[in-house]
Chains A and B, each alone.
Chain A
Amino acid sequence: MSCWDTVQAYAFRSLGFGEKLLPKSDFTLCEHFTLIGSGLIWNIYFGALALFFGFFFANALALAKASKNSWLKKPADWFIFVFRGSPLFIQFFLAYSALVMLPRGGIDILGLHIPTSWMTSAWAGALFVLFLNTSAYAAEIFYGALQSIPKGDLEAADAYGISGWSRFRRIQWPTMLRLAWPAYTNEAIFLFHATTLVFFSGFPAFQQRGDALYYANFFADKTFNPFVAYPIVAFYFILLTFALIYGFGLVNRMLNRHLPSNIRSRIRLRPQLVR
């Protein structure tokens, strides 16, 4: 089997297309690269969607946490504390065992029939946990940024008669985002790293459709040689990290475009946000 054949057979194996059976023996480098790369689709899926939905929820949470109304503040505080204070690994296990307990046949509410079986699958259940988790981490970052908006900016807004919603939309929110962006980039990178936990934490890989680390682990178990499969995952993730830094760097430049070049914030990768 030539390498191109392998790519055709396994490039979308993680989604269930192509060859049914995984390779059994004589594992080639090409098979390693193709299957692990195919698994990376899931990492990108989990990371991108959780990040996208989490962004909005995190904004809401940060505002709730900064609010003076304790009915808003307390729940947000607790939510952030629970998700930041406990291991993601345990959160996955907990969510899975909770979702499994839902009635198999579905739930009937007000005559509506809601099927439940899809919730225990990784694409939905794990995505939901990652969404909540990244929301909590990002909310803490946004909250910190909201607190460090320069007083002068708000006073200037007052002086111009900008208040209420338009003050938030035009002054507070863009500044918050600008201040939070370097830390948020870190959060995004480590969220993508955290997606490798999904298939090791209870969620089953249906028909061996797993993520990059799932396939790397498969190869390492079969060949009993960790020196090929794991460096390939590492390689893919380094590429992914660079792509993220580039993409977030573009946004960062846009957020800082009105500032003189010497006080623009630069994105520095600080590995301090692992969960």
Chain B
Amino acid sequence: MLIGHQPKPFLLAVEALTVSFDGFKAVNNLSFYVEENEIRVIIGPNGAGKTTVLDLICGKTKATSGSIQFRGKELTKLKENQIVQTGVGRKFQTPSVFEDLTVFENLEISFPKGRTVFGSLAFQRDDAVKQRVEEVAEMIFLKDRLDTYADQLSHGQKQWLEIGMLLIQDPELLMLDEPVAGMSVSERAKTAELLNRIIKDRSVLVIEHDMKFVEDIAHKVTVLHQGQILSEGTMEKVKNDPKVIEVYLGH
């Protein structure tokens, strides 16, 4: 018996996860584990089920079978907002910010306080909230745009705003779906800098196609193909895997 010698518990443990849409298995018997403070990048060709995996973890799609454990809590049984409250944050592929609200209001809504109906009626914009909003706004390069309505921001700024909205939630697991897609070169560099700063002290799950970006940030890479894991390991290992080169990197 090796009591006291157990491996460090994983932050996120996905086991035998399967989802089937009318018989088509978008994710098929998938298992992977994310450790604390690990940056994991998921890559793979189109239709490999990358976004579906994030959808399953954050509750947007319900799993057909399998389990997703986050800090020992079973996420497949929780609602989306409950999953957020356990500490999982999700950024979508297309920027989804509230265009009829200002940058300040967008960030304020994400502040983890007053999340019930009556809590939000009693919510006060106190100094703690203002300070945190300003702090995050500075980080996402939008400090002087706090009163701008989000519909007037550029595509890149909207992406930053959404990242900021996640940041203010302070999740333990941050999931980003193609954070640099559609950005200009300079915006991309700034985003990489921003991501490098915010991924400290938390685990991050990123979907990305930009290989240079992946090499920069990934601790470990998971390659998905047809809903299953094709290869997993360090970028170096994955890059030299003949299977990966054939279905993905070779193109």
Q: Please indicate whether A and B come from the same complex rather than being unrelated chains.
A: no
Q: What residues make up the interface of B, taking CB atoms closer than 8 Å to A?
A: none
Q: What residues make up the interface of A, taking CB atoms closer than 8 Å to B?
A: none
